[in-house]
Amino acid sequence: MLASVNVFVGVFNMLPLLPFDGGHAAIATYERFRSRRGRVYRADVGKMVPVATTVVALLVMLLFAGLYLDVTSPLG
């Protein structure tokens, strides 16, 4: 059970959204593809802040929905 939770958290963390590590990897890959002929391209991560805020808000809503359902009907 603990191993499956650990694998789930690892896979979930690699989602290509900015609050997660996958978001940082996606931005680094995007910058690598955009860099040409010695000119380094830097992505504006500040433009991704609204997306990151939305993702965090959805995760918080999911947390509170799960807590509410666990308290009101714990077994079913």
Which residues lie closer than 8 Å to 31 by C-beta, 6 or more apart? 40, 41, 42, 43
Taking the C-alpha atoms of residue 51 and residue 48, their distance in angstroms, rounded to an integer, is 5
Which domain range does residue 56 map to?
Answer: 2-72
Kindly state the average pLDDT of the residues 43-66. Answer: 87
Provide the number of structural domains found in the chain: 1
* pLDDT tens per residue, range 6-35: 999 888 888 887 778 888 888 888 888 888
Which residues lie closer than 8 Å to 45 by C-beta, 6 or more apart? 18, 27
Please give the model's pTM, rounded to 2 decimal places.
Answer: 0.63
pLDDT at 65 over 90: yes
The count of other CB atoms within 10 Å of the CB of residue 23 is: 20
